[in-house]
Chains A and B, each alone.
Chain A
């Protein structure tokens, strides 16, 4: 293979650990707000109320956890796939420090109530400028390294990375355009239904280009890498990639079914949402057939099951999502707890499973050691799997119950059968079950973090011993 490349692993390590830290904090907050729902006395005004903590939970996991791990794993993949060291490694380290400072500042500002009023786009304008700068740094490093690559052909993971870099920039900048009032307050540049359409164009595609394309990039790289099995079909991945990046941007308005938006926008969005099943399942089939060459890997190689369960939840997610877009289904499940059930299958199932498997692969690789404990990784797997299933399934049942209660009309005199309060009171047992599921998930994550930290501790000890010789 020629001379060894001196790879730059410091930014990879830094972002992987930062993401782990923010992930733990944000999941812990999620656990706390899940309790607040059935124990409202736990709301401690003004900072620790549900309406503020929920924002920190979501932003902490999207930006603090997912984006940090995306940076870490992208910096790993891009070096391996281009067979060269990261371009501008110092810039990547500067980015790491600014990133952590920005996440901390974001958390404090959200707790202080600085909120733009748009979901997943809450941060106020000075922080948004910071986010854009961080993203430009990411773009420069990734695109620069790819341009200066030593391997002519770009592997599919790099396609997904490049599409992520571009799409997130476009989405983020447009939806965050604001009229500043002062340093801590701004109003959206857009108004009313138009603002709503832009918001969901952004929010749905942020899911697409933060929670889907980079994670698929990881899947296509780390699954074959860690199992030693080549991807089943390159052609399928090409079809999947182009149809996914083309169709995703049409679908956002399926979040606004039955809203006052013009009907055609809703209908076109629903149609493209149905179409999205195809590219999503192209990746699912590719994953299944790849491991299908030897299913015993599920037992013998500890990471295989993370990837296969991850892609399974991705597959279920991308079937459930389009179904929810259909008007007949939407009118029952929309606005109910079905939706958090759906979202958390994607995040706790697909996203967290795939990211943790990739981190399990990368950390030993960059520290030049083996994982501290495969046994603990297996315990982690089962805890997060069972925790997530309890969470999602209880919320699906509850969502249907709420939807049906809200719609129920008495056959006797045509009045509404239930008051809103009756639907709230009957939700409590499910909300408590969800907290239990979240507790299992959180303990799984703690084991994951412990396992990663111990791997690093072990590697450092070995390194000291090696130096001593």
Chain B
């Protein structure tokens, strides 16, 4: 046995074999097993613009701070949405699950905010989230997408594309591309309908409560001011101080206001006979009942101001 330490070539071969055992079981075998390669029925290859955006995401190291992998843990699912499935990543070369959350997970960011929100946030993250440490990425708008390189990439990956798609890339910037990419993330799984937190007709238990107004103001400034303005006079989202609710100048019930905050809005969704345009994210799992009622109370205190 001790003679192995006198035969360097034999020794090297033995070491190689020893190393390859674990490799074979943990890496090679799974690679050739079908359980490793499922595909979601709704999953589509990236479009040319989305792939261009994915390249921008990689080029700037976004994946060092943002994971794209939601764990099957209660708090992860509440915060980010349905946990990640293996079949959602079939077209990801490379995978971008990440290993660190200096910023939030982005696995289901697609459709959560409007495009307009993303442009604003990329240009000035601290305007949307006070205290954010995300670098600004507005400068990406000065860099056009290299259409020829993207086309070569689509070919290399074998993704289908049309000539028009590549043609359209020519007036797109890297900022357009990365936002298009973000907007498709996690959309292969349909959003599950949420259990409503309240039944319609429920009264605000905190109506006109002074503490609730203060608490609502705090929550508003941290989370809502980005879109509705610090004075609530509207920006990306509508003015909350006027008499108009969902584009109709008639009052709206506390319960409806609650459900808009809790569940968000979709395009053409009907609330008290008025149609929403969509774009309001859902906050129910972040805030819960008490905080949302506080927000409703605070918003009511602004009316007519």
Interface residues on A, range: 35 or more
A 100-128 binary contact with B (CB < 8 Å = 1; else 0) = 00000000000001111111000000000
B288 at interface by CB-CB < 8 Å: yes
Name B115-129 residues within 8 Å CB distance of A.
125-126, 129
**B residues in contact with A336, CB < 8 Å:** 100-101
Q: Is the CB of B95 within 8 A of A335?
A: no
Tell me whether A162 and B15 are in contact (CB under 8 A): yes
Q: How far is the CA of A421 from the CA of B104 in the complex (A)?
A: 9
Q: Are the CB atoms of A54 and B16 closer together than 8 Å?
A: no
* B22:A195 contact, CB within 8 angstroms: no
Contacts of B18 in A (CB 8 A): 242, 245-246
B99 touches A147 (CB 8 A): no
Name which residue of chain B comes closest to A405, CB basis: B75
Q: Does B41 contact A (CB under 8 A)?
A: no
Report the minimal beta-carbon distance from B156 to chain A, rounded to whole angstroms.
5
Are B131 and A425 in contact, with the CB atoms below 8 A? yes
Q: Type the 1/0 row for B126-169, where 1 means its CB is closer than 8 Å to any CB of A.
A: 10011111111101000100000100110011000000000000
Residues on the A chain within 8 Å of B222, using CB: 419, 421-422
Q: A63 to B95, alpha carbons, bound, how many Å?
A: 23
Residues of B within 8 A of A373 (CB): none
Contacting pair B286 A159 (CB below 8 A): no
| Contact status B37-A192, CB under 8 Å | yes
A1 at the interface (CB under 8 A from B): no
Contact A198 B31 (CB under 8 A): yes
CB–CB A249/B63 < 8 A = no
Task: Kindly state whether residue B289 has any CB partner on chain A within 8 Å.
Answer: yes
| Pair B26/A181 contact, Cβ less than 8 Å | no
Select which of A49, A118, A179, A247 is within 8 A of B135 by beta carbon. Answer: A49
Could you say which of B9, B61, B125 contacts A147, with CB atoms under 8 Å apart? B9
Q: Smallest CB-CB separation from A40: which chain B residue?
A: B133
Most chain A CB inside 10 Å of its own CB: which residue of B85, B92, B289: B92
CA distance A188 to B84 in the complex (A): 21
Q: Mark B19-41, 1 if CB is under 8 A from A, else 0.
A: 11111011100110001110000
Known contacts A147-B9, A166-B12, A187-B157; is-contact A416 B75 (Cβ 8 Å): yes
Given A190-B93, A197-B27, answer yes or no on A259-B69 (Cβ-Cβ < 8 Å).
Answer: yes
Measured in the bound complex, the distance between the Cα atoms of B58 and A409 in whole Å is: 33
Asked whether, in the complex, the Cβ of A247 is within 8 Å of the Cβ of B86, the reply is no
Contacting pair A260 B69 (CB below 8 A): yes
Q: Of the candidates B36, B69, B92, B130, which one forms a contact with A262 in the assembled complex, judged by CB atoms under 8 Å apart?
A: B36
Q: Which residue of A lies closest to B79 (CB)?
A: A416
Asked whether B71 lies within 8 Å of A198 as measured between CB atoms, the reply is no
- Cβ 8 A contact of A118, one of B5, B94, B130: B94
Q: Which residue of B lies closest to A116 (CB)?
A: B94
Q: Chain A contact residues: over half helix, strand or loop, or mixed?
A: helix
- Contacts A194-B31, A199-B95; is A187 near B156 (CB within 8 Å)? yes
Number of CB contacts from chain A to chain B under 8 A: 275
Contacting pair B93 A188 (CB below 8 A): yes
Residue from A181, A190, A256 in contact with B156 in the complex, judged by beta carbons closer than 8 Å: A181
Beta-carbon contact of B71 and A258 below 8 Å: yes
Is the C-beta of B73 less than 8 angstroms from some C-beta in chain A?
yes
**Complex Cα spacing A67 to B77, Å:** 41
Residues of B within 8 A of A51 (CB): 60-62, 64-65, 135
Residue ID in chain B nearest A163 by CB atoms: B15
Task: Establish whether residues A415 and B291, one from each chain, have CB atoms under 8 Å apart when the complex forms.
Answer: yes
A364 interfacial by beta-carbon distance below 8 Å? no
Kindly supply a per-residue 1/0 record for chain A positions 250-261, scoring 1 wherever the CB is within 8 Å of any chain B CB and 0 otherwise: 111101101111
Q: In the complex, A51 Cα to B126 Cα: how many Å?
A: 18
- In the complex, residue of chain B having the shortest beta-carbon distance to the beta carbon of A151: B6
Distance to closest chain B CB from A414 (angstroms): 6
Check if B60 sits within 8 Å of A113, measured CB to CB.
Answer: yes
Asked if A331 is at the interface (CB within 8 A of a chain B CB), the reply is: yes
A259 touches B84 (CB 8 A): yes
- Whether A377 is near chain B, meaning CB under 8 Å from some CB there, is no
Return the CB mask of A141-159 against B: 1 if under 8 Å, else 0: 0010011010011100011
Asked whether any CB of chain B lies closer than 8 Å to the CB of A193, the reply is: yes
In the complex, chain B residues whose CB is within 8 Å of the CB of A289:
none
| Pair A191/B95 contact, Cβ less than 8 Å | yes
Contact between A36 and B135 (Cβ–Cβ < 8 Å)? Answer: yes
Q: Give CA–CA (A250, B156) in the complex, Å.
A: 32
Determine if B239 is an interface residue (Cβ-Cβ < 8 Å). Answer: no
Partner of A187, one of B75, B93, B290: B93
- B74 beta carbon closer than 8 Å to chain A: yes
Q: Which of B22, B55, B58, B137 has the most CB of A within 10 A?
A: B22
Stretch at the interface among A264-272, A294-302, A453-461: A264-272
With a CB–CB cut-off of 8 A, which chain B residues contact A115? Answer: 58-59, 61
A468 to chain B, nearest CB (A): 44
Q: Check A260 against B85 for contact (C-beta < 8 Å).
A: yes
Chain B positions within 8 Å of A248 at CB level: 19, 22
B23→A416 contact, CB < 8 A: no
| Residue of A116, A191, A201, A414 touching B23 (CB-CB under 8 A) | A201
Say whether A407 contacts B288, CB under 8 Å. no
Flag if A413 contacts B136 (CB, 8 Å).
no
The verdict on A180 contacting chain B, using a C-beta distance below 8 Å, is: yes
User: Nearest Cβ distance between residue A161 and chain B, in whole angstroms?
Assistant: 10
A153–B31 CB distance below 8 A: no
- Contact status B15-A245, CB under 8 Å: yes
- Provide the residues of chain A in CB contact with B134, threshold 8 Å: 40
Cβ contact within 8 Å between B136 and A421: no
Q: 5 A-B contacts, Cβ less than 8 Å apart?
A: A116-B94, A167-B15, A195-B93, A410-B288, A415-B288
What 5 pairs across the A-B complex have the smallest Cβ distances?
A415-B288, A51-B61, A249-B22, A192-B89, A43-B135
List 7 additional contacts besides A45-B135, A415-B285; criterion CB under 8 Å.
A51-B62, A143-B8, A162-B12, A188-B93, A192-B37, A193-B37, A410-B288
